[in-house]
Structures are given as C-alpha cells and as structure tokens.
Structure 1
Amino acid sequence: MKSNYSAYVPDLPGCIATGSTIEETEASIKEAIAFHLGGLGEDHQPIPDPTSLVEYVSI
C-alpha cells in the first residue's frame, strides 16, 4: 500500500502540505507557511501569535 505524509499549521487555518517523504513534506510546509504569511501581509492582515505545539508521533 502506497501512502504519503501530510502537515498542517493549526495557527494558520488552511495552511497544509503533503509529500512522499517526511523531508519533502517538511520542505512543502515551509513553503506553504511562507506563502500564507506573505498573503496575510499583502492583505494587511495580522499574523497570528503561535499557540500550538506539535511533535512527530510514530508507532
């Protein structure tokens, strides 16, 4: 069964990314965060203060 990884940023609703590997997903979410924050800036919206803490969990 083929699967992928996903990441999201709870403090930035709608900011999500996926990838085939953890490394690819990390790179994609960093790009998504930069894009999201850039959009907030262009729209003169405040950047929310971070309130979440997340870690990898593996079984």
Structure 2
Amino acid sequence: MSNIRQFTAIIEREDDGYVALCPELDIASQGDTVEQARANLIEALELFFEVAEPSEIERRLSLFSWFFAYCFQKFRIIIKVIN
C-alpha cells in the first residue's frame, strides 16, 4: 500500500519569474510561470525522495514540525498580549 502525504507549496513572484518552496522539506525551485515553478518543484521533490535517506526525510520533517509548533506558540502568545 502506498503512503500518500500532502506538502505545502508556496509560490511567490520574484523579479521576472516565480519561486516555489516546500517549507516542510526546505526544497525550492523556480520557473517563468506559476505552473512551471509548481511543476519544477514537484520534480525536485520527486528527485529528493528518490535519493534521500529515510533518516534525512524524517530529520527535515521533524525540524519543520518543531519550528511550526514554536512559531504557533509564539504567535498565540502575541495575540493574547495584544487582546
């Protein structure tokens, strides 16, 4: 059975092109259009999963989870202080 997982793609305009980032794995790519940047990011992710050791994948996912939890906690504290 295959293990399906969804990842985030953040695509931003930069100069005369687009940059696509998967923050969970810290993998980025670029393209002349949004569609091209997205396709290039998917290709970069596929290549990463083909060659990365399972421990490297887990390390990146764990690091992102820790960072996200840390930022969320800080954000909640800031909202409580403002309110």
Task: Normalising by structure 2, report the TM-score.
Answer: 0.46
Deviation at 1:37, TM superposition (A): 1.4
Q: Which has the higher contact order (CA 8 A, sep 6+)?
A: 1
- Structure index of larger Rg: 2
Which structure shows the bigger proportion of residues in helix conformation?
2
Which structure shows the bigger proportion of residues in strand conformation?
2
Residue identity matched to 1:25: A
Q: Tell me what 1:20 maps to.
A: 32
Q: Tell me what 1:7 maps to.
A: 20
* Paired-residue identity, %: 21
Query: Following TM superposition, where does structure 1 have runs of at least 4 consecutive aligned residues deviating by more than 3 angstroms?
Result: 46-52
Aligned residues: 48
Residue aligned with 1:37, SS = helix
RMSD, aligned α-carbons? 2.4
Deviation per residue, 1:7-49 (Å, 9 max, x gap) = 1111112x11000001111110000110111122xx2424538
Structure 1 gaps of 5+ residues are: 53-59
Q: Tell me what 1:39 maps to.
A: 51
Choose which of 23, 29, 40 in structure 1 pairs with 2:41: 29
Structure 2 gaps of 5+ residues are: 1-14, 69-83
